[in-house]
Amino acid sequence: MIPTPWRQRLLQQAQQRSALGRDRSIQPAAGVDFCSNDYLGLRRDPRLAQAAALAAATHGSGAGGARLLRGSSPLHDELEAALAAWKGTEACLLFNTGFQANATLLPALVAQGDAIFSDALNHASLVDGCRLAKAGGAHLGIYGHGDLEDLTTQLSTWRASAPPGALALVATDAVFSMDGDVADLSGLVALCETQGALLLIDEAHATGLLGADGAGLAQLQGVHGRVPLVMGTLGKALGSFGAFVCCDQLLRDHLLNTARGFIFSTALPPPVVAAGLEGLRLARLEPWRRERALALAQTLRTALGQPPQPSAIVPVPVGPDVEAVRLARSLQAAGFDVRAVRPPTVPEGTARLRITTGAHLEDGQVQALIRALHEHSD
């Protein structure tokens, strides 16, 4: 039984969430998918399932241990090599989730006296990684969203009083997951190269979707191979599960020896790794998938009067939490799986619908959603 003082606290917090319209619950998938990150429509592709089944029969259903014990397989090595080649880097290290990667690689890279500078709208995983680094004695600077001038000022101010030998790291999302806008990677690369700062970009929502062969925003913006640390995920556009960090061999060796999320976690199961390999192959082989996902998102933005963005994420601003929930439920009842996003995922007063598009959607389904948005928003 939960002790009474704990029960009272938990009940009070539950009541507060309910009063604010921020109660969350797990809802089963129902209706047309306009909320997942399955941008290329690969999650249910039978070719991924077949690759996973073959790997399970050959290597087993689970890894059995951490990579540094007995949890590695030739499939892990093959996927890391393929991802590094795709991202234009020397090496790659697999992690179990994007959250785990970001939250553990940042404190593994900075020490007391060093500094991290993080975009104000970065994903929660980067935020938590920054907090852990700060707890270890690093300086943490939050620069205005996409504001390179603010970042430059903060870097210069910190350097003026930083201890000798102190290092700086800049962290940013590539595609920002709640707004669908993107970072200025060419500007960030130039700034970090000038300042001697290490740049980490999170390409979770760009991997497989952007660039000449889907390698990501760095490829799209002409800085492919120039970003020292590129994090990406396998569970979004690539239709599988897991995450990775692409970098040079020195950085990989450092993370392999110091990133606690890697060292102390059972490795990704071989079937998952094989599905990731197949998803990567298909993402590069079938460009129509990313072209379709992006075109459908642009159709939606145009209908909603929004400016173009190179992503498949379309936010619909609502404002009050309860109104966002009401609108989402109305659309769900009409057959569209759209979800409301509320604080603390987004800033106070900016609750919204987060709509995504993917290659699995039909033109008529997108047009029907547009009509429903106009009808239910009135």
Give the CATH number, domain containing residue 359. Answer: 3.90.1150.10
**pLDDT score recorded for residue 24:** 84
pLDDT digit string, tens, across residues 190-245: 999 999 999 999 999 999 999 999 999 999 999 999 999 999 999 999 999 999 99
Looking at the structure, tell me whether residues 225 and 295 fall in a common domain.
Answer: no
The proportion of the chain whose per-residue pLDDT surpasses 90, expressed as a percent, equals 92
- What is the H or E stretch that residue 48 is in? helix 46-59
- 160, two tokens: 């003026």
Nearest-angstrom CA–CA distance, 8 and 317: 35
Residue 171: give its domain's CATH number: 3.40.640.10
Domain termination site, one of 259, 285, 311? 285
Domain termination site, one of 285, 309, 326? 285
In a domain, 357, yes or no: yes
Q: Which of 72, 73, 177, 265 is catalytic?
A: 177
Looking at the structure, tell me whether residues 337 and 257 fall in a common domain.
Answer: no
The CA-CA-CA angle for residues 253, 258, 261, to 5°, reads: 110
- 92, two tokens: 């790659």
**pLDDT score recorded for residue 27:** 86
| 205 a catalytic residue | yes
Residue 378, pLDDT > 70, answer no
Residue 19, pLDDT > 90, answer no
**pLDDT score recorded for residue 29:** 87
Q: Give backbone dihedrals phi and psi of 26, rounded to 5 degrees, phi first.
A: -85, 120
Nearest-angstrom CA–CA distance, 378 and 372: 10
Q: Which of 123, 205, 224, 360 is catalytic?
A: 205
In a domain, 11, yes or no: no
Q: Which residue has the tokens 């996003």?
A: 341
Looking at the structure, tell me whether residues 355 and 328 fall in a common domain.
Answer: yes
Looking at the structure, tell me whether residues 237 and 140 fall in a common domain.
Answer: yes
Average pLDDT, the chain: 96
In a domain, 170, yes or no: yes
In a domain, 191, yes or no: yes
- 294, two tokens: 């992006």
How many domains is the chain built from?
Answer: 2
Looking at the structure, tell me whether residues 367 and 248 fall in a common domain.
Answer: no
pLDDT digit string, tens, across residues 266-306: 999 999 999 999 999 999 999 999 999 999 999 999 999 99
Looking at the structure, tell me whether residues 169 and 308 fall in a common domain.
Answer: no
Nearest-angstrom CA–CA distance, 198 and 179: 25
Domain termination site, one of 285, 304, 323? 285
The proportion of the chain whose per-residue pLDDT surpasses 70, expressed as a percent, equals 100
**pLDDT score recorded for residue 21:** 79
Looking at the structure, tell me whether residues 92 and 226 fall in a common domain.
Answer: yes
Could you list the residue range(s) of the whole structural domain that residue 153 is in?
46-285
Q: Which of 87, 123, 224, 236 is catalytic?
A: 236
Looking at the structure, tell me whether residues 274 and 140 fall in a common domain.
Answer: yes
- E strands within 197-285? 198-202, 229-233, 243-247
The number of beta carbons lying within 10 Å of the beta carbon of residue 194 is 10
Whether residue 222 contacts residue 64, with contact meaning beta carbons closer than 8 Å, is answered with no
**CB-count burial class (<10 Å; 0-12, 13-18, 19+) for 270:** buried
Whether residue 106 contacts residue 169, with contact meaning beta carbons closer than 8 Å, is answered with yes
**pLDDT score recorded for residue 298:** 98
Residue 376, pLDDT > 90, answer no
- 47, two tokens: 């070719």
Q: Which residue has better confidence, 21 or 253?
A: 253
Whether residue 101 contacts residue 171, with contact meaning beta carbons closer than 8 Å, is answered with no
Nearest-angstrom CA–CA distance, 134 and 154: 16
Looking at the structure, tell me whether residues 216 and 363 fall in a common domain.
Answer: no
